Amino acid sequence: MFAEMYGIAVFQINPTKYKSISSGFRVLLKEQGVRGFFRGWVPTLLGYSAQGACKFGFYEFFKKYYSDIAGPENSAKYKTLIYLAGSSSAEVIADIALCPFETVKVRVQTRYGFARGLSDGLPKFVRSEGALGYVLLFD
């Protein structure tokens, strides 16, 4: 998370410009100043907060839901499988909650000038890609 939070994702975008982490830090400092190290921190904070809230909240929901479907005897017998299914279901929802924030963060960090942050980046992204555009991204 440190690497993503501080813009190190851009090193993968242009390997000839960013030869190592230390040279990447120097280039980033020279081109964007200290502020460049903090680009994308709001979407990271909010995205992982949403993911955590969904993961733990929906895990409890699905654990009870699947236990109720299985019934008392089977839920005790297959407790591990029920917890695994609840965890997996919750993770899918949590990751969907994270995706829009991660998409905007990566765009802000790797496409200089795209946006200043989440407040102008998310509306800009939705206008250009659609409300579910982050699901179909492969760039």
- Written in H, E and C, the secondary structure of the chain is CHHHHCCCCHHHHCCCCCCCHHHHHHHHHHHHCHHHHHCCHHHHHHHHHHHHHHHHHHHHHHHHHHHHHHHHHHHHHCHHHHHHHHHHHHHHHHHHHHHHHHHHHHHHHHCCCCCCCHHHHHHHHHHHHCCCHHHHCCC
| CA dihedral over 26, 31, 3, 17, signed as positive or negative | negative
- Most confident among 6-10, 18-22, 64-68, 113-117 (mean pLDDT): 64-68
Given a cut of 80, is residue 1 above it in pLDDT? no
C-alpha 87/C-alpha 109 separation (Å) is 31
Q: Kindly report, residue by residue over 58-103, the tens digit of the pLDDT.
A: 999 999 999 999 999 999 999 999 999 999 999 999 999 998 888 8
The whole-angstrom separation of Cα 139 and Cα 113 is 17
pLDDT of 4 > 70? The answer is no
- pLDDT reported for residue 15: 76
pLDDT at 86: 97
Most confident range, picked from 33-42, 44-53, 126-135? 44-53
Which two three-digit tokens encode residue 13? 């975008």
pLDDT at 7 > cutoff 50 = no
